[in-house]
Each structure stands twice: as C-alpha cells, then as structure tokens.
Amino acid sequence: MGDTDATDAAYVVGSGIGEDEAARLEVQGGVNAQGTPMVFAERMGRMMNEAALVLMISVGHRTGLFDTMAAMPPATSAEIAARAGLNERYVREWLAAMSTGKIVDHDGAAGTFSLPADHAAWLTRAAGPGNLAAQAQLVVMLAPVEDQIVDCFRDGGGVPYSAFPRLQAIAVETTGAVHDATLIDVTLPLVPGLVDRLAHGIDVADIGCGSGHAVNLMAEAFPRSRFTGFDLSDTGLAAAVAEADRKGLTNAHFEKRDAARLGETARFDFITTFDAVHDQARPDLALAGIAQALRPGGTYLCVDIAASSKLSENLDHPMGPFGYTISCMHCMTVSLADGGMGLGAMWGEQKAQEMLSDAGFTSIEAAHVEGDIANTYFIATRN
C-alpha cells in the first residue's frame, strides 16, 4: 500500500465507512478528506457546468451562431464570426465554452469547429418547436430578478410582469413555433367536431392571447369563424393587431381585458387559453368568467402545464426542476405581486379539474398529445 492508499484508508476509518462501502463510493466518486462521499459534490460540479452552458446556448441562439454553423463545414472562429457578422474574440470564447461542453466539435490540429447535425436538429430555428436553444432564454430571463425574489422570500409579495421585459418576445418565439406546427392539425382536432364547426362559422375567444398568434392562425385557417383575443398587455395586443393587418384578416379582433373581469355572457361557442391560467392573479374568477362567456353547448380548451398537483408524484417529472423554478421566479410571483392566489405553473391536473368544476364545468376531459410532455389539454363543457 502506498502513502496515498494509506491516507485514503485512514479517511475511511476515521469516517466510520466500511471497506466495502468505501469501494462502492470509490466507483461512484470516492470520498473527501473527511470521509464524506463525493457523489453529490461531483453532481454539483456538473450542474454548474450545465447551468453555464444554458447561458451560452441562449447567446448562441440570439446571435444566430447555431444557425450559421449548421450551414457551414468545419471552420475557424474567424470564418464563423465573419459569416455571422459578429466579433471574432467573443465568438472564439463562445466556441470554447461550446467545445468543452461537448455541444460543438473542435479539431485541435486544424483549429476548426463544427456543429454536429444531431445537435443542430435541437438548436437551430430550422428545428421549429424542437429548438431547445430558444427555450434556454427562459432560464436567462429569470436571472435579473433574483434579488427581488430573495426579498420576496423574506418579506412576501411578488415580482411584477414589468420586471420581465423580454418575456413577450421569448413567448412569441417559443409558443409561436409550437402553434405553427400543431395548433390547426393537432390541437384543435382534440375537440370532437370542432374543426367542422369552425369551418362552418362560430364565435371564438382566446383569453390571455399575448401577441395573438394563435388567434391569427385560427382566423386564417377558418375564415367563416369570428375570433377575439383578450389580453392586458398593450405590447402584445399591438403585435397581434399588426400581424392580423399583415395577413389581411377581417375576422380577428383584439380587446384589452383582464381575464378575471371578462364580463361576457353566452357570447362564444369556443374559448381557448394557452398556458394562461396558472399565472393569473385570480384564476378562479378567470375560469368562472370563461364558463359564463360560453354559449350552451360551447367548449373550453385549456392548455396548461402537464403535472400532478402532488409534489410526490412529480419527483420523477422530466421537467420538474425547470417547472418549479419557472413557477417560483415567474408564474407564482407575478400572481402574488398582483395580490393574487400564487397558483404556480405546477398547479397540476387534480387542481385544474377541481377549479374547472368549481367554475361550473360539468364535463372535463384531460387529454394528452403523444410526444408533448409539457402540456395537458383540458376539454371542458357545461350543461
């Protein structure tokens, strides 16, 4: 036994860890000088690296570097920077992060970098809704509000929507790609008979419509139906009107309205919300208003985060940490900032079913789309 082995053995003895257990820990990562298993410390190290990569992936998306590299053969940092129209020194440092993170391949002898095709399939705008680099922006968006969130932990209250100036643009990009790919051909057909009714002409509302892209897509696909989008954001509504004008749509209209004060009675045949309930200040009032706004025989499609209302059932959720983090640092806190319920993104199917029932819906179906781990599609009607 060498000096190092003897020292390691002493740590094991001093820590009370048996030799068999020490051997297992050595395989998993060993122990430190105090005999503490290193497995979690190594996980934390990996976590720090992965978190740093998320920042750089967001930069790569926003600068178009992933798109540029996907269309290039292996190239030097200078060639990539020139093609992208960016500063070479920054591109070189970004490439170093991407290379050590095994996102980009680096040929040290040739001094070139390349983006593997199977990585580009998840990191470029050509990937559509599969572009995970666009989703990375959501994590970066949270960083500037950390100080305010820490204050909320101590004092209560919340962080208002105004603290998230890029949210609208990120939402347009991420949800817009999803709607483009699935809204007309996948989502709407989940409601039995709806497509035929839309083709013949009905009145439709989207509550919390944001930039109105979903409304405009439906209005374009079903010119005989009439569509109204409601939202509180002046910026979002302006973007919605501008898109409708560009498309020449005469059957899409937009109104500024608080979802909790919808104030409509039997006006619509079909109402939608897309991830717009869980961050409302008063989601209970919003759902009750939606139920009241439906005509007899009308249908409400509520698309929201797929999760259980029980934490113990979310422990293996593939996006659990992401969902609860987004909730704590955005969805929950913006509701609390407005004196609301603070429902949170991970309110879950059980709570959604309960609140829909309390709002007056008598038939509630929770549907799922194959390949979509992010959303549950609630189809609700009332007598």
Model-wide pTM > 0.85 = yes
3: confidence class by pLDDT, cuts 50, 70, 90? very low
User: DSSP letter at 165?
Assistant: T
At residue 20, the pLDDT reads 57
Measured distance CA(290)–CA(294) in Å, rounded: 6
DSSP 336-368: HHTT-----TT-HHHHHHHHHHHTT-SEEEEE-
Give residue-wise pLDDT tens across range 34-63. 777 888 999 999 999 999 999 999 999 999
CA atoms within 13 A on the CB side of 57: 28
Mean pLDDT of 222-234: 97
Give residue-wise pLDDT tens across range 148-195. 999 999 999 999 999 999 998 998 899 999 999 999 999 999 999 999
Residue type, 369: V
DSSP 140-170: HHHGGGHHHHHHHHHH-----GGG-TTHHHH
Give residue-wise pLDDT tens across range 272-306. 999 999 999 999 999 999 999 999 999 999 999 99
Tokens of 285: 């009032």
Tokens of 378: 């609630």
Tokens 């051997």 — which residue?
A: 23
> What percentage of the chain reaches a pLDDT higher than 90?
86
Long-range CB contact pairs, 112-115, < 8 A, 24+:
112/74, 112/75, 112/76, 113/69, 113/74, 113/75, 113/76, 113/77, 113/80, 114/69, 114/72, 114/73, 114/74, 114/75, 115/66, 115/69, 115/70
